[in-house]
A and B are shown apart, each in its own frame.
Chain A
Amino acid sequence: EDQVTQSPEALRLQEGESSSLNCSYTVSGLRGLFWYRQDPGKGPEFLFTLYSAGEEKEKERLKATLTKKESFLHITAPKPEDSATYLCAVQADWGSQGNLIFGKGTKLSVKP
């Protein structure tokens, strides 16, 4: 069964304190791995798509990496405005439009 597990469930950081969020996945055939950011009361906002092991993508203070079993979202010198829930999702099923299977998310709080 396709599955996505995110850890930790919640993470509290001081401003400037770098850290990483983990996303472990089990999928029969990975079509893509997605990272989203979700603010309270809003829909998820797309951050990155990773397609193959070894791939890395960066955007401002965020860097996403991918291996065959997991993905990491590295946050360098975070600021309070980075506080949000970060969602990981995988897309399988090459033969169809494909739906996303989501993890429960990591709630990040960055204190000034």
Chain B
Amino acid sequence: ETGVTQTPRHLVMGMTNKKSLKCEQHLGHNAMYWYKQSAKKPLELMFVYSLEERVENNSVPSRFSPECPNSSHLFLHLHTLQPEDSALYLCASSQDLRGYTFGSGTRLTVV
């Protein structure tokens, strides 16, 4: 399998649930990212991992918790989310300046 793979594609969760989003890249890239895409808004950077070390956390609420166990895998752990957290969550990877490769995203609905 090639590219960036995200699972699940769709997720519905209650505000008291705990769930995790998974991202896997097969490109040999050295950086991975989580972005949030909401309607009528630009993509918002959430977290950056470079060489498995978190290098940026864009003031994201603590109910979102990232994990990068190795250079190919990235997780986003979710707990006690709010309805306004419903969005498309995109994972991306990159190597130097060759542009990001995005996954297809996880459509999250918080009820």
Segment of A12-20, A63-71, A91-99 engaged in the interface with chain B: A91-99
Which A residues touch B92, using CB under 8 A? 43
Give A1-34 as 1s and 0s: 1 = Cβ < 8 Å from B's Cβ atoms: 0001000000000000000000000000001101
Which B residues touch A4, using CB under 8 A? 42
The answer on a CB contact under 8 Å between B97 and A43 is: no
- B91 shortest CB reach to chain A, Å: 8
In this complex, the member of A34, A46, A97, A101 whose beta carbon has the largest number of chain B beta carbons within 10 angstroms is A97
Q: What total of chain B residues lie within 8 Å of the partner, measured CB to CB?
A: 27
The answer on a CB contact under 8 Å between B97 and A91 is: yes
- B100 shortest CB reach to chain A, Å: 6
The answer on a CB contact under 8 Å between A99 and B97 is: no
The answer on a CB contact under 8 Å between A32 and B97 is: yes
Q: How many A-B residue pairs have CB under 8 A?
A: 60
The answer on a CB contact under 8 Å between B102 and A43 is: yes
Which B residues touch A43, using CB under 8 A? 4, 6, 90, 92, 102-105
Give A78-97 as 1s and 0s: 1 = Cβ < 8 Å from B's Cβ atoms: 00000000010101000011
Please give the residue numbers on chain B whose beta carbons come within 8 Å of chain A beta carbons, in ascending order.
4, 6, 31, 33, 40-43, 45, 48, 50, 55-56, 58, 90, 92, 94, 97-105, 107
Please give the residue numbers on chain A whose beta carbons come within 8 Å of chain B beta carbons, in ascending order.
4, 31-32, 34, 36, 41-46, 49, 51, 87, 89, 91, 96-97, 99-105
